[in-house]
């Protein structure tokens, strides 16, 4: 299946294909760690020189940093920042760590992860705001605004205990309801919001050779979700007998695993529901220009050497703001510049430039 997905990835735009290949093959070893990047350039079918030129005179950290920045520039988006922050010491929080790690996930995990990352292309959290980025050798400067903060989290589901975990997630989701409000912030019912969040509001039309076209979830997918829940609980008569219904349930189960494997459920102060990589209470949910999805940022303590700075926790799914709704809700919010530094992660820097200073709040 990995081979099929590699072949499918090679048919895409060079930067998108390369990012997908990097995640698909992240579990692989390399004698020279820099070849986790350079060794895959040959799979781009002649497009390698337009993306990144191998340079073995620089360190592994510098090679990973250059690769991440090259992916951002080539795709003109923050797609390279999507995915878990599996970091070795010494790497900035925004740089992709391509080295395999013990207990960092199975082959299936990276297959699901690669598909989750590629599914983000159907979202547009930043609306019409295109990427604005500038940099120095050590800094990556981005623009955006904070929309909400994490209130409560629930642990990822465990293999063999999915039904029990979903019950815990439902209990956690119930705590997100704003006092006196019977509906979700976008006006939808909570039952609808919950099942859509379980698949990040996306489904795939799976084929025998893997992959499959991504589409947004439709009301008809709720039936597959309800059947999936009955199947998890072992209720008799769970699966419909016709092949069409069984195929729909199977597709939902796959979509669920892609969307939620190793993901935490979280609620927000404004009453939203989301999924993300190891969020903690009070992490900030930011909309970054050029970001198709929201991002979780963790502020450093006020008494630390990096007070006023942020580290990147990762991307996230927040139901109800994935199509530019946050931009409309926050039209009067001022944007502020984000500066990512190798030593401190994401840093707010009002002195980066005169124009940037005027944007800071």
* Per-position DSSP letters for 34-65, written without gaps between them: THHHHTTGGGGTT-GGGT----TTS-HHHHHH
- Whether 323 maps to a domain, the answer reads yes
Q: Is 204's pLDDT higher than 50?
A: yes
**Hey, is 16 helix, strand or coil?**
helix
- Whether 155 maps to a domain, the answer reads no
Q: Which of 237, 262, 287 is the last residue of a domain?
A: 262
**287 and 239 co-located in one domain:** no
Share of the chain above pLDDT 90, in %: 40
**145 and 272 co-located in one domain:** yes
| Tens-digit pLDDT profile for residues 111-148 | 788 889 889 999 999 999 899 887 766 567 788 889 99
Number of domains comprising the chain: 3
Residues near 172 by Cβ (< 8 Å), separated by ≥ 6?
152, 153, 154, 265, 266, 267
Q: Is 207's pLDDT higher than 80?
A: no
pLDDT at 14: 59
- Whether 128 maps to a domain, the answer reads no
**7 and 106 co-located in one domain:** yes
**254 and 174 co-located in one domain:** yes
Single pTM value for the model: 0.85
**144 and 273 co-located in one domain:** yes
Q: What is the mean pLDDT of residues 194-209?
A: 84
Q: What is the mean pLDDT of residues 279-305?
A: 90
**287 and 139 co-located in one domain:** yes
Rounded to 10 degrees, what is the CA torsion of 280, 21, 123, 87? 20
Q: Is 306's pLDDT higher than 70?
A: no
Mind giving me the DSSP string for 107-169?
Answer: HHHHHHHHHHHHHGGG--TTTT----EEEETTEEEEEEEEEEEEEEEEPPP-TT-HHHHHHHH
* Structural domain range at position 56: 2-122
- Whether 61 maps to a domain, the answer reads yes
pLDDT at 47: 55
- Find tokens 């990012």 and name the residue: 19
**174 and 323 co-located in one domain:** no
Q: Which of 262, 289, 315 is the last residue of a domain?
A: 262
**84 and 167 co-located in one domain:** no
| Tens-digit pLDDT profile for residues 35-79 | 999 988 888 765 555 688 899 999 998 999 899 999 998 889 999
**21 and 118 co-located in one domain:** yes
Q: What is the mean pLDDT of residues 23-27?
A: 80
Residues 95 and 312 sit within 8 Å (Cβ to Cβ): no
**31 and 47 co-located in one domain:** yes
**277 and 245 co-located in one domain:** no
- Whether 127 maps to a domain, the answer reads no
Give residue 24's pLDDT band: very low, low, confident or very high (50, 70, 90): confident
Q: What is the mean pLDDT of residues 222-248?
A: 75
């Amino acid at each position: 299946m990995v081979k099929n997905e590699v072949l499918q990835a090679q048919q895409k735009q060079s930067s998108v294909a390369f990012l997908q290949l990097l995640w698909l093959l992240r579990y692989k070893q390399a004698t020279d760690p820099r070849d986790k990047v350079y060794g895959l350039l040959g799979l781009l079918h002649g497009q390698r020189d337009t993306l990144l030129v191998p340079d073995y005179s620089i360190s592994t950290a510098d090679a990973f940093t250059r690769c991440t920045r090259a992916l951002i520039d080539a795709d003109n988006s923050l797609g390279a920042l999507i995915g878990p922050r599996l970091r070795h010491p010494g790497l900035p929080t925004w740089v992709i760590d391509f080295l395999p790690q013990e207990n960092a996930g199975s082959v299936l995990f990276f297959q699901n992860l690669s598909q989750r990352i590629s599914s983000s292309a159907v979202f547009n959290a930043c609306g019409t705001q295109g990427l604005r980025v500038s940099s120095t050798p050590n800094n990556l400067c981005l623009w955006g605004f904070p929309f909400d903060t994490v209130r409560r989290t629930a642990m990822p589901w465990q293999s063999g205990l999915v039904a029990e975990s979903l019950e815990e997630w439902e209990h956690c989701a119930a705590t997100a309801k704003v006092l006196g409000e019977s509906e979700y912030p976008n006006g939808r019912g909570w039952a609808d919001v919950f099942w859509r969040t379980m698949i990040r509001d996306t489904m795939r039309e799976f084929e025998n050779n893997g992959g499959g076209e991504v589409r947004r979830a439709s009301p008809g997918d709720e039936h597959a979700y309800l059947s999936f829940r009955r199947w998890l609980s072992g209720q008799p008569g769970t699966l419909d007998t016709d092949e069409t219904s069984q195929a729909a349930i199977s597709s939902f189960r796959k979509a669920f695993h892609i969307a939620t494997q190793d993901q935490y459920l979280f609620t927000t102060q404004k009453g939203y529901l989301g999924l993300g990589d190891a969020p903690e209470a009070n992490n900030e949910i930011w909309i970054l220009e050029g970001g198709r999805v929201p991002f979780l940022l963790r502020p450093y303590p006020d008494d630390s050497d990096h007070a006023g700075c942020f580290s990147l926790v990762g991307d996230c799914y927040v139901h109800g703001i994935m199509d530019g709704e946050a931009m409309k809700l926050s039209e009067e919010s001022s944007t502020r510049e984000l500066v990512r530094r190798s030593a401190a992660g994401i840093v707010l820097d009002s002195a980066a430039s005169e124009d940037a200073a005027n944007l800071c709040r």
